[in-house]
Structure 1
């Protein structure tokens, strides 16, 4: 099974590019099966990582909090498990 971890942060005003750069530099050990980084209006950054495991797999590496100098609020985190597509 595959589990996806989503990490979303909103940058302090004017620091969207810095937050994006910070997020892309953060290492994960071990490396995920896949990792994608997105940006959105209002200086939002989203990172999705895919891992081999179940929804409740403990100790999957996650990106840390970027700190108050970059993020205007606590990071939002979600965990999802892949389901078989019926189509």
Structure 2
């Protein structure tokens, strides 16, 4: 059974993976989708539904891992909307 700490940890892990996308559009889409999904399921109280959501999240985390790995194999030109990295 998944508790709130495990769900929060899953949320953080998924966001960390989403930030690893090199492509701005993929990165922003993944972040938005993760945030909206967890926000939508915030009020779940039934243990069975919570476990089902948690298990789906674990599968999605594995999928994100595969997608970010593939994304890092290719280079993309930076878009105009992307912030530039500051050099010190």
With structure 2 as the length reference, what TM-score do the two structures score?
0.31
**Which structure's residues are more often helix, by fraction?**
2
**Which structure's residues are more often strand, by fraction?**
1
**Higher radius of gyration, 1 or 2:** 2
